């Protein structure tokens, strides 16, 4: 399904990124793994999936996304066929704390919006008319909103959705295919862990459980395959019917 394609996956040392790397490799792709701090986990995954390599970059820093793309392109002998923008941060931005408000908004806008958009810009410019595929991992919060202390997170994911739709419309003529996934709670270390919080989260999901990272990864790998190009620009909800549009 992905034979002969090289895929760059951000935030791939754990969670959805890790499972996406596994799914893409299983489908025949050559995978390039990005990580922020967890180098040992990234290297372990790289050995498991026979990755082209690992690249460490802190996407909260200006210029990091451009450096990541250039490094990945060098690793791939100049050709990257697909991109998965998975890396993201989830920070509280309470109205009552001006320090957390300012720092949380700034970090989330940089990591959740600027970095993936810079990677999309690099990819689209590199591909020209040859085309390629992009999957962005956003969030249910982009449409439903989030808790009272996470307006910054919801806004950042909403911005990513809007940017992806815009670029999909603009570049479909060159066979650039861009999709966005908007999961609800996923079984990762970002999911609620306290018993009370967990019960409350699950109560809101008609399916009766949070999503598994493998489910998100399977959808990402399928979309990267190009088997449904007419869906470019679409947003896919993976939330157990907790928010139905």
Q: Could you tell me the pTM of the whole model?
A: 0.95
What gap in Å lies between CA 28 and CA 190, rounded to an integer? 29
Structure tokens at 242: 């907790």
- Domain membership flag for residue 95: yes
The reply to whether 186 falls in a domain is yes
What's the full length of the chain, in residues?
245
Per-residue confidence (pLDDT) for residue 27, from 0 to 100: 98
- 24 in a structural domain: yes
Q: What is the DSSP letter of 230?
A: G
From the number of C-beta atoms within 10 Å of its C-beta (0-12, 13-18, 19+), residue 46 rates as buried
d(CA 9, CA 7): 6
Structural domain count of the chain:
1
- pLDDT given for residue 201 in this prediction: 79
Structural domain of 207: 6-234
| CATH number of the domain where residue 60 is located | 3.40.50.720
Residue 116 lies in a domain: yes
Give domain status of residue 239, yes or no: no
At 108 the pLDDT is 98
| C-alpha to C-alpha distance for 174 and 7, rounded to whole angstroms | 19
Q: How far apart are CA 230 and CA 30, in angstroms?
A: 25
DSSP result, 18-46: HHHHHHHHHTT-EEEEEESS-HHHHHHHH
Active site residues: 153
Bridge partners, residue 134, by sequence: 83, 178
Domain membership of residue 242 (yes or no) is no
> Would residue 244 count as lying in a domain?
no
CA-closest candidate to residue 54, choices 71, 37, 32, 75: 32
Residue 1 inside a domain? The answer is no
Q: Read off the pLDDT of residues 154-201 as tens digits, 9 standing for 90 and up.
A: 999 999 999 999 999 999 999 999 999 999 999 877 655 554 566 777
Those residues of the chain that have pLDDT short of 70 are 190-198
Rounded Cα–Cα distance for residues 9 and 19 (Å): 10
At 195 the pLDDT is 45
């Amino acid at each position: 399904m992905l034979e002969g394609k090289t895929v760059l996956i951000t935030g791939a040392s754990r969670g959805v990124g890790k499972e996406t790397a596994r799914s893409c490799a299983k489908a025949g792709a050559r995978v390039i793994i990005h990580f922020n701090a967890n180098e040992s986990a990234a290297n372990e995954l790289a050995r498991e999936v026979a990755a082209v390599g690992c690249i460490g970059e802190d996407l909260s820093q200006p210029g990091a996304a451009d450096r990541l793309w250039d490094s990945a392109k060098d690793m791939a002998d100049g050709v990257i066929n697909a991109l998965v923008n998975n890396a993201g941060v989830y920070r509280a931005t309470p109205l009552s704390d001006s320090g957390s408000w300012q720092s949380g908004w700034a970090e989330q806008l940089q990591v959740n919006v600027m970095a993936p958009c810079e990677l999309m810009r690099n990819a689209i410019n590199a591909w020209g008319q040859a085309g390629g595929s992009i999957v962005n991992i956003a969030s249910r919060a982009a449409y439903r909103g989030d808790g009272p202390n996470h307006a910054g997170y919801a806004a950042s994911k909403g911005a990513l959705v809007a940017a992806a739709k815009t670029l999909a419309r603009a570049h479909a003529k060159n066979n650039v295919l861009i999709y966005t996934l908007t999961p609800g709670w996923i079984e990762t270390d970002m999911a609620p862990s306290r018993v009370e919080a967990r019960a409350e989260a699950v109560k809101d999901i008609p399916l009766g459980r949070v999503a598994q990272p493998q489910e998100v990864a399977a959808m990402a790998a399928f979309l990267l395959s190009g088997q449904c190009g007419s869906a470019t620009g679409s947003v896919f909800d993976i939330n157990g019917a907790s928010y139905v549009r």
